[in-house]
Structure 1
Amino acid sequence: MTSEQQPTPGQRVERLRRAAGLSRERLAGLCGLSPTTVKFIENGRRSLTLRAAQQLAPHLGVRDLGDLFGPEVALSLDGRASHPAVNDVRRALTAWHITIDGEPESTDYLRGAVDSAWQTWHTSRHQRTAAGEILPGLLDATQRATRLHNGDDRRASLTLLAQAYHLAQAYLAWHGDREMVWLTVDRGMTAALDADDPLAIAQASWYAAHLLRAVGRGDEALDRLRQARGLIEPRVADGGTEWAEMLADLHLCAALTRARTGDQGAWSDWDAARTVVDRALPDGFVGLRTRVSRPLVDVYAVMCAVDLGDPDEAQRRAHALDPASIPSTERRGRHFVELARSADLEGAREATLHLLGRAEATSPETVRYSPVAQDMVTRLCREAPAAIRAEAVDLARRIGATDL
């Protein structure tokens, strides 16, 4: 067989899946992808990324990724863009303070610093660059505080340290350093447990669930979320808005986790989140760090519909949602990427390119570092009609797409 006759990576996935006696739905559930994603990989409408290949391989009996990509495909470990501040954040995460002295920052100061960092993340158009500048100092200050404070101040410092680790996880998630992401999850959970703060533990569980889902451990993610809801639900009726905010966020995370595995039960969790927001949070409420709000609930509805492979439902859900109402520049950029994914599902390349352009205009780094956005832009450069191909290539150059 000549190189021109070699099966595509998608065809290899399909052959191996059939040989293993797996349906698309079953394979998707095992590896943490949606059935639509598996379908589109097989029929060539979506590229087989290295990350997806790593998720699929164990369930297809593959030990050498060459069995999926073929002998003619070279895999580069440097193909995914990495932010220039990653090394500074890595050093801050692994700068163990063996000895420590001096006076710690006050918990009030640290709370303001953490809140300001999250506000910057949600309002900056270049949130990863801004976070990369903030994180090393924030991690150092909160780490020092937990060592130097005692009693209630130490517990408060541990809760704030957990939040600093969560921001580090958000920053690192798209930069290809999975070991560091696992470190932030573990450290964040440890700090929250040491603080013995139910809200902090639930928040750490939310972040852990996102990583577990991303590596194909969706069932574990849902279990962690159920446990976290058990901490929060009894306190919602008599607690402040932060308890209802956390409960809604846990339901939204569960909804997305189910949708990523093709489980229509996602809508039950999404509806539970909407009920909590409508009944327990005041009009106009926006969570400072989570951005939980009525518009965010609608954003998740679009995401769930896309992951469930239903572009018509995604467009219906998006129809009444004004992107300007989304209370986070980063989430607004990701919303445009989700709408682009919906258009991509339907093969509407002009609309896909238009929406990716809006995402880039809203939050350039969301497109530059998002694997799914990079994949769509790369495919548009190869497959788009000639009338828009030059525009696609120009967008690819602006966001640093390397796989051209």
Structure 2
Amino acid sequence: MVDQQPTPGQRVERLRRQAGLSRERLAGLAGLSPTTIKFIENGRRSLTLRAAQQLAPHLGVHDLGDLFGPQVALSLDGRPSHPAVDDVRRALTAWHITIAGEPETPEYLRGAIDSAWQTWHTSRHQRTEAGVILPGLLDATQRAARLHTGDARRQSLAQLAQAYHLAQAFLAWHGDRELCWLTVDRGMAAALDADDPLAIAQSIWYAAHLLRAVGRGDEALDRLREARGLIEPRVADGGVEWAEMLADLHLCAALTRARTGDQGAWSDWDAARQVVERALPEGYVGLRTRVSRPLVDVYAVMCAVDLGDPDEAQRRAHALDPASIPSTERRGRHYVELARSADLEGAREATLHLLTRAEATSPETVRYSPAAQDMLGRLSREAPASIRAEAADLARRVSAPES
């Protein structure tokens, strides 16, 4: 009889106990939530390569095989990649050494950026459509920033920062990490050169998401506080864009805290709610950010899920009509968050139903979401026989490249 190897979660628990760490202490050190540690240990959540890399230094692990075991093969190519990533990469790394001709006007660039963000939020296949738009958009904004002078150059630089932000949104789930960092750095550099507080705050918002994703949540919160310091003094006398940006900064901070198990997330979330309710017109929807009353409610669900409170997530979701979410991409992600909440409770039929709704809303959101792929993988292997075939069929549908 062959001895049964411990699961990755059991290995994490054993090493944690040997190190004399509580789940809360390990979570704080690794930049994860205590609930995430709990569910990894009891098998309710897979140990991802990213989580393993965050945990390893604090568990005394120098070889990830000590966490995954000899029976687990790790592939560096396991992350799905969109076919347009190569074209976007070329646009990001094409340096215009010599440049001539008439640049597009800042007004034209703003219209083009707004149109691209509208496509991102309304298309069911937003990554495919953004992949078509981005190379030309990056080229046009890069050229304008080089060829214009004075105020026109500063305006062009602010639009260039937005083009880099759209590239980051496109690359976030299926691009090389180095490319994501490149978009963050380039976007911040363009915003600082523009000397535009709104552009700088937006760049910090995007940087904070990536900092959080790599376990640097404290640094993300520090940067977000700096950004609020730029925006808050201007909200009273500025236009709605300033209030929209302030609310988005609070929402980003709330999610960052929630991802590390910090109940202070609700304070930031409530600050965002108050800004939206007091400073933005009824029915307002941010063109690029989609900041709105429904989006604030979406973040409440996300925070509850990341804090490991499925009851609160379901309570928050109960009054939120998904049709009111002003973004197809966000609506697809909302269904994934609801699936995560059901998954936390072990409700596999509900998890599959919600992932199916997410796929019907935005197939690419499910295909490229690490959380969705993790849930589908486990459902395909472990769900009751009555739904296992359905889960496997959904996994096959979303794994096939879009034609």
**TM surpasses 0.5:** yes
Equivalence for 1:136: 135
Equivalence for 1:194: 193
Q: Give CA deviations for 1:117-147 in whole Å, capped at 9, x if unaligned.
A: 0000000000000010000000000000000
Matches within 5 A, 1:364-375: 364-375=363-374
Matches within 5 A, 1:7-46: 7-46=6-45
Aligned mates of 2:20, 2:159 — CA distance in 1: 49
Residue identity matched to 1:264? Q
Equivalence for 2:322: 323
Give the conservation status (yes or no) of the 8 Å contact 1:132–1:171. yes
Ranges of 4+ aligned residues in structure 1 off by more than 4 Å: none
Q: Give CA deviations for 1:175-200 in whole Å, capped at 9, x if unaligned.
A: 14100000000000010001000000
Equivalence for 1:61: 60
Aligned mates of 2:16, 2:177 — CA distance in 1: 27
Aligned mates of 1:172, 1:93 — CA distance in 2: 12
Give the conservation status (yes or no) of the 8 Å contact 2:85–2:175. no
Aligned mates of 1:367, 1:209 — CA distance in 2: 23
Q: Give CA deviations for 1:76-111 in whole Å, capped at 9, x if unaligned.
A: 111121000000000100001111111101111111
Aligned mates of 1:293, 1:231 — CA distance in 2: 21
Q: Give CA deviations for 1:29-85 in whole Å, capped at 9, x if unaligned.
A: 222222111111111111111121112112222221111111121111111210000
Equivalence for 1:293: 292
Equivalence for 2:214: 215
Aligned mates of 2:165, 2:17 — CA distance in 1: 40
Residue identity matched to 2:11? R
Aligned mates of 1:176, 1:120 — CA distance in 2: 20
Residue identity matched to 1:299? V
Matches within 5 A, 1:1-400: 2=2, 4-400=3-399
Aligned mates of 1:392, 1:166 — CA distance in 2: 34
Aligned mates of 2:108, 2:152 — CA distance in 1: 12
Look up the SS of the partner of 1:347 in the other structure.
coil
Aligned mates of 1:356, 1:30 — CA distance in 2: 32
Aligned mates of 1:228, 1:309 — CA distance in 2: 28
Aligned mates of 2:202, 2:292 — CA distance in 1: 16
Give the conservation status (yes or no) of the 8 Å contact 1:31–1:217. no
Look up the SS of the partner of 2:157 in the other structure.
helix
Report the CA distance between 1:201 and its aligned residue: 0.4
Residue identity matched to 1:349? R
Residue identity matched to 1:134? I
Aligned mates of 2:164, 2:188 — CA distance in 1: 9
Report the CA distance between 1:6 and its aligned residue: 1.4
Report the CA distance between 1:23 and its aligned residue: 1.4
Q: Give CA deviations for 1:188-217 in whole Å, capped at 9, x if unaligned.
A: 001000100000000000000000000000
Give the conservation status (yes or no) of the 8 Å contact 2:116–2:133. yes
Give the conservation status (yes or no) of the 8 Å contact 1:135–1:164. yes
**Which structure 1 segments of 5+ residues have no match?**
none
Report the CA distance between 1:366 and its aligned residue: 0.2
Give the conservation status (yes or no) of the 8 Å contact 1:374–1:401. no
- Mean Cα displacement is larger for which, 31-40 or 209-218? 31-40
Q: Give CA deviations for 1:263-300 in whole Å, capped at 9, x if unaligned.
A: 00000000000000000000000000000000000000
Aligned mates of 2:332, 2:114 — CA distance in 1: 21
Look up the SS of the partner of 2:6 in the other structure.
coil
Aligned mates of 1:319, 1:384 — CA distance in 2: 26
Report the CA distance between 1:27 and its aligned residue: 1.5
Aligned mates of 2:58, 2:179 — CA distance in 1: 26
**Which structure 2 segments of 5+ residues have no match?**
none
Residue identity matched to 1:40? F
Aligned mates of 1:306, 1:42 — CA distance in 2: 18
Look up the SS of the partner of 2:95 in the other structure.
coil
Aligned mates of 1:31, 1:173 — CA distance in 2: 21
Aligned mates of 1:113, 1:67 — CA distance in 2: 50
Aligned mates of 2:132, 2:56 — CA distance in 1: 37
Q: Percent identity?
A: 89
Residue identity matched to 1:87? D
TM-score of the two chains, using structure 2 as the length reference: 0.98
Residue identity matched to 2:212? R
Aligned mates of 2:150, 2:379 — CA distance in 1: 57
Aligned mates of 1:25, 1:157 — CA distance in 2: 46
Give the conservation status (yes or no) of the 8 Å contact 2:253–2:268. yes
Report the CA distance between 1:231 and its aligned residue: 0.3
Residue identity matched to 1:122? H
Residue identity matched to 1:336? Y
Report the CA distance between 1:401 and its aligned residue: 8.0
Aligned mates of 2:119, 2:60 — CA distance in 1: 45
Residue identity matched to 1:371? P
Report the aligned-residue RMSD: 1.2
Give the conservation status (yes or no) of the 8 Å contact 1:244–1:281. yes
Residue 401 and residue 371 in structure 1: after superposition, are their counterparts in 2 closer, same or farther (change >3 A)?
Answer: farther
Aligned mates of 1:13, 1:342 — CA distance in 2: 23
Aligned mates of 1:96, 1:30 — CA distance in 2: 40
Residue identity matched to 1:384? A
Report the CA distance between 1:21 and its aligned residue: 2.0
